[in-house]
Chains A and B, each alone.
Chain A
Amino acid sequence: DQQVKQNSPSLSVQEGRISILNCDYTNSMFDYFLWYKKYPAEGPTFLISISSIKDKNEDGRFTVFLNKSAKHLSLHIVPSQPGDSAVYFCAASAPSNTGKLIFGQGTTLQVKP
């Protein structure tokens, strides 16, 4: 089951620069996409989401872009801070009343001071 894929296991950026995390999906029925951040020994923390009817959603330093024709979304973090260093998971949900989320494999972001 590879409906949500994050092909980059890791990313390293300099503090103050932009971090771009990518995610691809295969199921055109997904109606919401989410990004979660996870620190070691903690549960995933919700970061930002986007509806499939939109192509961009912004919240402070975090922006998610959705390209439905390419079945691709990306998370931009500007400017990156050392505290952003964590594992970032892309997740998707299909229309249902159950709330099930399908996660990608995660990308480990390291922001260097």
Chain B
Amino acid sequence: EPEVTQTPSHQVTQMGQEVILRCVPISNHLYFYWYRQILGQKVEFLVSFYNNEISEKSEIFDDQFSVERPDGSNFTLKIRSTKLEDSAMYFCASSDPPYRGGYGYTFGSGTRLTVV
């Protein structure tokens, strides 16, 4: 079964450092997403991406965040200057088309980001 792959599974970084979280979506999917889950809290939408541009972003997704699809297979989330409160599990997801009912979309296993 096709899956969304995320690397690394765990990243520890110093506060103020830049991090890049990587995702390989399912190959024929066109819509890509990042969500995060702070420990013990709900899964929160960050951003959706289609046709090489952001289609929607949340209030969390401020100027410190950016997304990119640098080639035909990878989808990345960059945090320019990490803060302690950025510590969370970050999930990548993909779908084709955007979820409109029936099957949901596919999440990766997540990257646990720890900012120290």
State whether these chains interact: yes
**Interfacial residues, chain A to chain B (CB-CB below 8 A):** 31-32, 34, 36, 41-47, 49, 51, 89, 91, 93, 96-106
Most chain B Cβ neighbours within 10 Å, of A43, A44, A51, A101? A43
Tell me the bound Cα distance from A91 to B33 in angstroms: 15
Residues on B with beta carbons closer than 8 Å to the beta carbon of A42: 109-110
Judge whether B41 and A105 touch: CB under 8 Å: yes
Judge whether B102 and A49 touch: CB under 8 Å: yes
Select which of A32, A49, A102 is within 8 A of B45 by beta carbon: A102
Closest to B56 in A: A98
Tell me the bound Cα distance from A99 to B4 in angstroms: 17
Tell me the bound Cα distance from A46 to B102 in angstroms: 10
6 contacts between A and B (CB under 8 A): A36-B107, A46-B103, A98-B98, A99-B99, A100-B45, A103-B43
Judge whether B43 and A99 touch: CB under 8 Å: no
Contact with A along B78-116 (1 / 0, CB 8 A): 000000000000010101011111111111111000000
Judge whether A32 and B44 touch: CB under 8 Å: no
Residues on A with beta carbons closer than 8 Å to the beta carbon of B110: 41-43
Judge whether A32 and B42 touch: CB under 8 Å: no
Select which of A43, A98, A102, A104 is within 8 A of B4 by beta carbon: A43
Do A49 and B31 contact each other (CB < 8 Å), given the known contacts A43-B107, A43-B110? no
Residues on B with beta carbons closer than 8 Å to the beta carbon of A98: 48, 50, 55-56, 98
Closest to B4 in A: A43
Do A41 and B45 contact each other (CB < 8 Å), given the known contacts A99-B33, A99-B98? no
Most chain A Cβ neighbours within 10 Å, of B45, B91, B100, B104? B104
Closest to A36 in B: B104
Judge whether A100 and B48 touch: CB under 8 Å: yes
Q: How far is the CB of B114 from chain A (nearest CB, A)?
A: 15
Judge whether B48 and A46 touch: CB under 8 Å: no
